[in-house]
Amino acid sequence: MNQLIINANSREKRFALVKNGEVEKIYIEQPGQQSLVGNIYLGIVEKVIPGMNAAFVNFGEEMSGFLQKDKLPSYVLSDDENKTNRSISSYVHQGEKLLVQVEKDAAGTKGARLTGIIELQSDNLVYMPQGKYIAVSKKADSADTRDKWREFASQVKMPEEGLIFRTESLNQTEEVILREMQHQRDQYAQMIKSISAMKKPGIVRSRDYFFEQAMAALLSVENVEVITDCLDMKKRIQQNHPEGIESEFYNGKENVFSFYKIEQEIERLLKKIVWLEKGAYMVIDQGEALTMIDVNTGKFSGKNDLRDTVTKTNLNAAVEAARQIRLRDLAGIILIDFIDMKNDSERNKVQKLIQKELLQDERRTRIIGFTELGILQLTRKKTKQSLAETLTEKCWTCGGSGQVLSSETVAFRLERALWEYKSSDYDEVLVSATDEVIKQFSGEGDIHKLRLEKALDLKIKFSLSDAAKPFYEILKVGASTESG
């Protein structure tokens, strides 16, 4: 049986979807890192930038959000045939109040991406008060079904409204859909009423994103049991899953993630190296601009020849790379450096396999193809922080580079700094430095230190620093402290 394991009895909320004994998805939400996607705010336009056809909007969060021209209701509802060529200044102005919804969370120095086309989601519909759009789920079994619902929508909606019929709506009656749409209209009217009393930007309606993600994971698989350490979460899931599911309240002393070995999986997902079958491995290097995945044969050698080894390793790596992309929630540009393949048929086989594996991904991905150097390029839509971005921060010692100056280099820098005191009136200098820097600077038997003291006519004294990286600091220069 598949399992949805939910750890929600502390401030950090987590769930893991285990399918056929293998972890398929991990979702972690920390206080202060909750996704804002779907939240609705009252915003005030801070700055309109015609050159970018966009505006920056203060919506009450730490960083202003980014709003493009084609996401403005005034633009969408305009009947001007030449509107695509008109500046954003024709549709919005500085200081204007807008109802906005978060489409993509802030990341790094980039603020959240916003839309003025509000979407209210329910079981069967996505209702857009100013969407001017009709769409029917692509999973509709025929063109006739899609036409039927489009015709129905055109009859019941206002010209400025938009409707998207979700897959679940296709088997519902028109009466159910009408009731749901009216409920959403009422919700929107209530929001408009509430913002009239707001004097500054801020939240109007928030989503319980963790619960929604857990429910989406639950509905994505069949034959699943829920195991949770939170009674409230257990009750909510049972209330929102009408046909009933098998659920269990976990109250063991050991953390539920530790008990079901999910904690170990998270530790593995934070490491660069991912081991494949028979000693082969991948190195995943996640950067700000892109993620690089490098495939290596390691100790793996095929039964027949090198070509057999390369093909098998690359196929194994394609399956595991797709899984790691999902679990680590990697996004943006992703480059996979498979072991060199000599012909197009081998490359096509690998590309088709990873494409098939990525069909399981709920996030939109696009495979661009192999470069001339044999590197597979793909992109994955980013809506929130990756697992590593959620759980880790830049090392304060190395600044996130993974490297620090060597003790020898720092010792040479200290030597150059001290040369600046040559011919000064000072007799002594006190330097704080780490042990290895002192050793590199002084040399065996203090040979380098004594040579420099003689050249500079300056006594050099050290105090030991406990800094985490090779370090020195000149604390004091002045008259000698030695008596006599």
CB 62 within 8 A of CB 109: no
249 and 115 belong to one structural domain? no
Residue 427 contacts by C-beta under 8 Å, 6 or more apart in sequence? 458, 459, 478, 479, 480
402 falls within a domain: no
**What is the crossing angle of helices 447-456 and 435-442, to 10°?**
70
Residues written for the chain: 484
Mean pLDDT of the chain: 91
Reply yes or no on whether the pLDDT at 394 is more than 90. no
CB 351 within 8 A of CB 385: no
469 falls within a domain: yes
Count CB atoms within 10 A of the CB of residue 84: 10
450 falls within a domain: yes
| 3-class state of residue 459 by DSSP | strand
What percentage of the chain exceeds 70 in pLDDT?
Answer: 97
Question: What are the CA-CA distances from residue 297 to residues 38, 174, 237, 342 (Å)?
Answer: 43, 58, 45, 16
What percentage of the chain exceeds 90 in pLDDT?
Answer: 68
Least-confidence region, from 329-338, 381-390, 435-444, 448-457 = 381-390
Q: Which of 366, 391, 416 is the last residue of a domain?
A: 391
Query: 217 burial class (0-12, 13-18, 19+ CB within 10 angstroms)?
Result: buried
What does the alpha-carbon distance between residue 66 and residue 72 come to, in Å, rounded to a whole number? 12
Tokens of residue 49, six digits: 């930038």
Q: How many independent structural domains does the chain possess?
A: 4
400 falls within a domain: no
CB 19 within 8 A of CB 223: no
Range 218-235 average pLDDT:
91
Q: Which of 205, 220, 246 is the last residue of a domain?
A: 205
52 and 174 belong to one structural domain? yes
Range 52-56 average pLDDT:
95
More confident residue, 55 or 390: 55
Residue that is written with structure tokens 């040399």 in the block:
443
56 and 181 belong to one structural domain? yes
Range 404-427 average pLDDT:
93
Indicate which CATH number applies to the domain containing 22: 3.30.420.40
Range 405-432 average pLDDT:
94
30 and 75 belong to one structural domain? no
257 and 384 belong to one structural domain? no
292 and 351 belong to one structural domain? yes
Residue 181 contacts by C-beta under 8 Å, 6 or more apart in sequence? 125, 127, 156, 157, 163
pLDDT for 446-461, tens place per residue?
999 999 999 999 999 9
Q: What is the DSSP letter of 226?
A: E
Tokens of residue 75, six digits: 């633009």
End-to-end CA distance of the chain: 85
398 falls within a domain: no
103 and 237 belong to one structural domain? no
CA Rg value for the chain: 30
- What is the phi/psi pair of residue 199, to 5°? -100, -15
341 and 418 belong to one structural domain? no
Count CB atoms within 10 A of the CB of residue 392: 11
Question: What are the CA-CA distances from residue 241 to residues 159, 218, 234, 371 (Å)?
Answer: 35, 9, 11, 47
- DSSP secondary structure, 254-284, as one string: S-HHHHTTHHHHHHHHTSSEEE-GGG-EEEE
Q: Which of 391, 421, 444 is the last residue of a domain?
A: 391
What does the alpha-carbon distance between residue 27 and residue 322 come to, in Å, rounded to a whole number? 17
CB 95 within 8 A of CB 45: yes
Nearest to 350 by CA among 325, 313, 380: 313
The confidence band for 484, taking pLDDT boundaries of 50, 70 and 90, is very low
Range of the domain at 140: 40-205
What does the alpha-carbon distance between residue 58 and residue 43 come to, in Å, rounded to a whole number? 5
Q: Note the pLDDT of residue 177.
A: 92
147 and 181 belong to one structural domain? yes
User: Model's pTM, two decimal places?
Assistant: 0.72
Range 80-92 average pLDDT:
93
What does the alpha-carbon distance between residue 406 and residue 215 come to, in Å, rounded to a whole number? 51
397 falls within a domain: no
Q: Which residues pair with 134 in a beta bridge?
A: 163
92 and 200 belong to one structural domain? yes
More confident residue, 31 or 58: 58
Indicate which CATH number applies to the domain containing 146: 2.40.50.140
What does the alpha-carbon distance between residue 85 and residue 394 come to, in Å, rounded to a whole number? 43
399 falls within a domain: no
396 falls within a domain: no
288 and 314 belong to one structural domain? yes
What does the alpha-carbon distance between residue 372 and residue 361 come to, in Å, rounded to a whole number? 27
The confidence band for 263, taking pLDDT boundaries of 50, 70 and 90, is very high
Which stretches within 198-305 are classed as H helix?
Answer: 209-219, 231-239, 256-259, 262-269
Range 240-254 average pLDDT:
83
168 and 88 belong to one structural domain? yes
